[in-house]
């Protein structure tokens, strides 16, 4: 009888613990929800840590934590959370993209390129291929950059994405993605000493967007035998 009593007591204790844990998590979730309504990222992040600690390593709230770090431009923390999530599920496209952007903003260009290479394969998105080409160009891997740009041109362009170009300290221009791809293609060709091809690419970029300041300047630079302006 005593043995049964001990066992029953243990079961009741465990049940009580889980009931309390569920209540605690519900309260944490309520705090998180309210913090999001009030745009208090710090409180929301603290609530997420409490939820994750109680739910365990597979908590789906890690995704929310990554988004909050990303939106707050806390790229190092975002990268770490994304790496943890992807170690368990490497097919999460949005998480991989946040990781890639975080790496780029951290200055880890080579690792960012690796992430964008995975994204391009996963999504067949011409923007991801363009970003990959840009990163390879920054790394001076011109052959790899050219392959990425050609891939970007092979993929469908929906005409909905624009890229920001800093023209000067006071002016940033929005450029259609396809025009940006051709400008990048011209930059790569110029570095490969293929000036005739570079001229054609810059001209194509201008044809696609006639007010594209940087492409127009690069086109004129090639015509005049001068250096082009890099991105």
Closest by Cα among 131, 144, 129, 142 to 105: 131
In a domain, 4, yes or no: no
User: How many helices (H) and strands (E) would you count in the chain?
Assistant: 11, 2
Query: CB count, 10 Å around CB of 84?
Result: 14
Q: Which residues constitute the domain of residue 53?
A: 10-82
In a domain, 115, yes or no: no
Point out the domain boundary residue: 60, 82, 104: 82
Angle at 142 between CA 138 and CA 145, to 5 degrees: 75
In a domain, 106, yes or no: no
In a domain, 52, yes or no: yes
Please indicate, yes or no, whether residues 149 and 227 belong to a single structural domain of this protein.
yes
The predicted pLDDT at position 168 comes to: 86
Number of domains in the chain: 2
pLDDT tens column, 180-212: 999 999 999 999 999 999 999 999 999 999 999
How far, in Å, CA of 231 to CA of 8, rounded?
A: 70
pLDDT tens column, 18-59: 344 565 799 999 999 999 999 999 999 999 999 999 999 999
In a domain, 211, yes or no: yes
Check which CATH number belongs to the domain holding 229 and give it.
1.25.40
Residue 228 carries which DSSP code?
Answer: P
Please indicate, yes or no, whether residues 153 and 223 belong to a single structural domain of this protein.
yes
In a domain, 93, yes or no: no
Please indicate, yes or no, whether residues 145 and 77 belong to a single structural domain of this protein.
no
Please indicate, yes or no, whether residues 147 and 62 belong to a single structural domain of this protein.
no
Point out the domain boundary residue: 61, 82, 103: 82
In a domain, 92, yes or no: no
How far, in Å, CA of 62 to CA of 202, rounded?
A: 44
How far, in Å, CA of 90 to CA of 92, rounded?
A: 6
Q: What are phi and psi of 60, to 5 degrees?
A: -75, -10
pTM as predicted: 0.86
The predicted pLDDT at position 20 comes to: 43
Point out the domain boundary residue: 82, 103, 126: 82
């Amino acid at each position: 009888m005593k043995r049964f009593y001990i066992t029953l007591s243990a079961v009741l204790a465990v049940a009580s613990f889980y009931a309390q844990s569920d209540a605690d998590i519900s309260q944490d979730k309520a705090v998180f929800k309210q913090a999001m309504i009030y745009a208090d990222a710090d409180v929301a992040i603290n609530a997420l840590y409490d939820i994750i600690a109680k739910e365990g390593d597979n908590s789906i709230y890690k995704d929310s934590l990554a988004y909050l770090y990303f939106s707050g431009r806390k790229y190092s923390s975002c990268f770490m959370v994304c790496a943890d999530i992807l170690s368990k599920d490497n097919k999460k496209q949005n998480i991989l993209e946040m990781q890639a952007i975080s790496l780029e903003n951290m200055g880890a260009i080579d690792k960012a390129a690796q992430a964008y290479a995975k994204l391009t394969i996963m999504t067949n998105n011409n923007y991801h291929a363009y970003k990959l080409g840009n990163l390879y160009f920054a790394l001076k891997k011109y052959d790899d950059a050219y392959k990425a740009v050609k891939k970007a041109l092979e993929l469908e362009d929906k005409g909905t994405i624009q890229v920001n170009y800093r023209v000067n300290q006071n002016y940033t221009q929005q450029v259609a993605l396809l025009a940006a791809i051709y400008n990048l293609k011209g930059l790569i060709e110029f570095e490969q000493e293929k000036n005739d091809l570079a001229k054609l690419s810059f001209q194509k970029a201008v044809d696609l967007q006639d007010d594209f300041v940087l492409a127009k300047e690069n086109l004129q630079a090639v015509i005049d035998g001068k250096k082009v302006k890099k991105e």
